[in-house]
Structures are given as structure tokens and as C-alpha cells.
Amino acid sequence: MFSVKIYDISNSDIAWCPGCGNFGILNELKTAFSELELSPNQVVIVSGIGQAAKMPQYVNVNMFNGLHGRTLPVATAIKLVNPSLIVIAESGDGCTYGEGGNHFIHTIRKNPNIVNIVHDNMIYGLTKGQASPTTPKGVKTTLQFDGVFVDPFNPIAVAVALNASFVARTFMGYTDLTIELIKKAIKHRGYSLIDILQPCVTFNKYNTYQWYKENTYILPEDYDPTDRKTAFEIAMDTEKLALGLIYLNESKEVYEDFQPRIELF
Ligand SMILES: Cc1ncc(C[n+]2csc(CCOP(=O)(O)OP(=O)(O)O)c2C)c(N)n1
Ligand SMILES: [Mg+2]
């Protein structure tokens, strides 16, 4: 196993609030890399804009920090031109499901061999607390003073409905589960979604560490993720959120297998 320290950036001040869920995800990501013995030059993290999207600045691997909502097309292109790289597309719930919503849908359809980690704090953190697509109905925010009045976007249900090849959800407070899912997603060939629930301690006073513990459960060991109908039922249950690998479809064709390219290396 590689030391987690090889992924540390020595001279960077981390601009997240004390207690932010992003710190847990940072450690889980670096631990997953070290357990898979990935050298930094094998990995690229691509992000958009937001607090979550600062992640590549804090990990000693290759990086591309692009436009808000545009993480997935950049990640897909990087994978196409250099399939030997492990490509992690990583951004927030707003960036991925809001501004990047259309890319989310069509990337699932194309099924490039990339990992999509979404830091789902159910809020627009960087821009100071407006509702994001996943903010629960009724929650009051810095902009929605009377509470959000539309139903939230359900990324897991959308991904299963579109027959995505790997659909997982976890809570960053469950370290072992999160590391295991990141490792599984990296090993999986095809598009892998990991929606990681995380608190925003400054702007989301509703979805706290306590709230996530009380409103989630871990899927049992004998759960079969290849059963799409059951996966969809589980995805539709928004009362109690299932954590784990919810849906797996290993027979889906992978995008780069059908793209001609010039071999440079
Ligand atoms: C096209 C575009 N729209 C809006 C913005 C402003 N903006 C920057 S970050 C952000 C929200 C980020 O929220 P999220 O992706 O959930 O990340 P978080 O900060 O919560 O981690 C917004 C609206 C922008 N930079 N570009
Ligand atoms: Mg967010």
C-alpha cells in the first residue's frame, strides 16, 4: 500500500470551513488511491466550480479545474485521448445536477470509463447558501426565505432510469463504505456515479451530520445491485436513503471502445 502522504499538497491552504464534509471526502479519496497503489501520474481529477470543485487543488495528482457544470465533457475528452489515465470527475450537487444537468444525462448514455464523484451537500455552498437541485422541499435558505417549494432532483433514480452502469450513494461520515465504493468505482469499467452525502456546516443547517445518520441506511450484504427494478424502487425511496452500490450494469458498451483515435504512446 502506498502512503497517503504522496497525494498531499504541501503548500496549499485549504479554504473549506472547519467541520466541512469535504475534508472527510478528501481523506477517503486519498486513502482509496493509496490502497489501490495508484501513483499520482496515473490519475487526473477534473472539476467544475464550487467548494467541492476545489478538490483537485488539494490532491497531488494531475488536475483540470474548468467551468461550472462542465466537468463531465472535459473528463470524457481526457479519457478519450488518454485511456490509460484514471479519470475522476468531481464536483458539487449544483455543478453536476444543476448547471451540468444536461451533461449528467448524456454522459450516462455515452458510458465513458470515468468515475463521477458528487459532493452532495444539498446546497450551493460557494455562492453562500442558495437552494441546489437536491435541497429538500420546505428547507429555508439564504435565498428561498419561505422554503424551497419544488420537489428535489433525484440523481439516483435518474441514473437507474437511464440504465447507468454503476450507481452508488454514500455518506462521507461512513469512511469504510465510502473508501470501498471509490475503489469499486475506479475498478469498474464504464461511467460510475458516487453521490456522496455531506454536510455544509455553514449554509445547510437542515442536512446535518445527525440528519444524514438518521435518514440513511446501509444496504445489506446480500443485496443484489444487478436487479434494476429493485434498484429503481430503492432509488425512489426518499424517506430513508439507501447507501451502497445501488445499481450495477456491467454489460453496457463503453464509449471509448467505439471512438477511433491516434495512438500517441
Ligand atoms: C454558469 C455559471 N452559473 C453560476 C455560477 C455561480 N456559481 C459558482 S459556484 C455555484 C454553486 C456551487 O454549488 P455546488 O456545485 O453545489 O458546490 P458547493 O459549493 O456546494 O460545493 C454557483 C451557482 C457560475 N460560476 N457559472
Ligand atoms: Mg453543493
- At residue 21, does pLDDT exceed 70? yes
pLDDT of residue 185: 98
Count of domains in the chain? 1
> How far does the centroid of ligand 1 lie from the alpha carbon of residue 183, in Å?
27
Task: Establish if 9 belongs to a structural domain.
Answer: no
Q: How far apart are CA 36 and CA 184, in angstroms?
A: 10
140-166 average pLDDT score: 97
For residue 5, is it within any domain? Answer: no
Model pLDDT for residues 182-206, shown as the tens digit of each residue: 999 999 999 999 999 999 999 999 9
Over range 201-222, report the average pLDDT: 98
Taking CA atoms, 139 is separated from 22, 34, 107, 151, in Å, by 22, 38, 30, 11
For 252, the 3-state DSSP assignment is: coil
Structural element, H or E, at residue 88: strand 86-92
Instruction: Give the residue whose CA is nearest to atom 13 of ligand 1.
Output: 124
Q: What pairing do the DSSP bridges indicate for beta strands 241-248 and 166-171?
A: antiparallel
The answer to whether position 7 is within a domain reads no
Q: What is the 264 CA–ligand 2 centroid distance (Å)? A: 38
Share of the chain above pLDDT 90, in %: 94
Is 80 part of any domain?
A: yes
User: What mean pLDDT is predicted for residues 213-241?
Assistant: 98
- Residue 85, domain extent: 21-255
Is the distance from CB of 183 to CB of 209 less than 8 angstroms? Answer: no
Residue 1 counted as domain residue: no
Q: Whose CA is nearest to atom 5 of ligand 1?
A: 68
Give me the residues near ligand 2 (ion), CB cutoff below 5 Å.
92-94, 121, 125
Q: What is the pLDDT of residue 118?
A: 99
C-alpha cell at 149: 417549494
Q: Examine the pLDDT at 262 and tell me if it is beyond 80.
A: no
What's the pLDDT at 259?
84
pLDDT score, position 264? 62
> Does residue 146 have a pLDDT over 90?
yes
- Range 112-139 average pLDDT: 98
pLDDT of residue 12: 74
Q: Domain for residue 261, yes or no?
A: no
The per-residue pLDDT for 44 is 98
How large is the average pLDDT for residues 50-68? 97
CATH of residue 99 = 3.40.50.970
Is residue 144 domain-resident? yes
Give the whole-angstrom CA distance, residue 195 versus residue 176: 15
Going by CA atoms, what residue is nearest to atom 9 of ligand 1? Answer: 50
Residue 265 placed within a domain: no
Find the 207 Cα to ligand 1 centroid distance in Å.
19
Q: Is the CB of 54 under 6 A from ligand 1?
A: no
